[in-house]
């Protein structure tokens, strides 16, 4: 049974706005950075290697729910869990936390594309197998339940 992949990052000054919090758009860039690290953990060559083989992925849909603002110099955990791997698309849930605090919850849908033919491509078996450790059981959250975090 899979569990979320977690990437830790530090909020940069340039990512904070005059409200002194991370500007909302940057979380999508954090999601992308975490996904790149998941790809690196998944197989040799990582995202760059996949693209060199002619396979790429594009974001088809993304949602962010902002819970608590993060601010300059915060250390954030970005957790990603895969909720489904369809024929050509991947659904994932994301949770950005600062220690125990929820910062942003998100969902993304990516579509795989064949770079030569510029059209949708089926997820190859080797990639499906490589992502297996982070495919969540149905209904699971990328964040541990509050009760377990308090334990």
Burial of 42 (0-12, 13-18, 19+ CB in 10 A): buried
Residue closer to a copy of itself by CB (options 22, 127) is: 22
Rounded to whole angstroms, the Cα distance separating 122 from 145 reads 34
Q: How many CB atoms lie within 10 A of CB 47?
A: 18
**What's the closest the beta carbon of residue 133 comes to a copy of itself, in angstroms?**
21
**What's the closest the beta carbon of residue 69 comes to a copy of itself, in angstroms?**
8
**What's the closest the beta carbon of residue 9 comes to a copy of itself, in angstroms?**
10
Residues that bind a copy of itself (CB under 8 A): 10, 12-14, 16-20, 23-29, 32-33, 36, 46-48, 56, 58-66, 69, 72-73
């Amino acid at each position: 049974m899979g569990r979320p992949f977690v990437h830790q990052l530090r909020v940069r000054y340039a990512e904070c706005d005059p409200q002194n919090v991370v500007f909302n758009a940057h979380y999508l860039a954090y999601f992308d950075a975490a996904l790149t690290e998941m790809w690196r953990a998944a197989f040799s060559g990582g995202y760059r290697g996949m693209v060199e083989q002619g396979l790429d992925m594009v974001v088809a849909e993304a949602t962010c729910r902002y819970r608590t603002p993060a601010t300059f110099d915060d250390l954030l955990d970005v957790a990603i869990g895969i909720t489904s791997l369809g024929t050509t698309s991947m659904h994932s849930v994301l949770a950005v936390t600062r220690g125990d605090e929820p910062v942003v919850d998100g969902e993304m849908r990516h579509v795989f594309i064949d770079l030569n033919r510029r059209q949708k491509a089926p997820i190859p078996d080797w990639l499906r197998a490589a992502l297996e450790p982070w495919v969540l059981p149905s209904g699971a959250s990328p964040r541990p339940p509050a009760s377990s975090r308090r334990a």
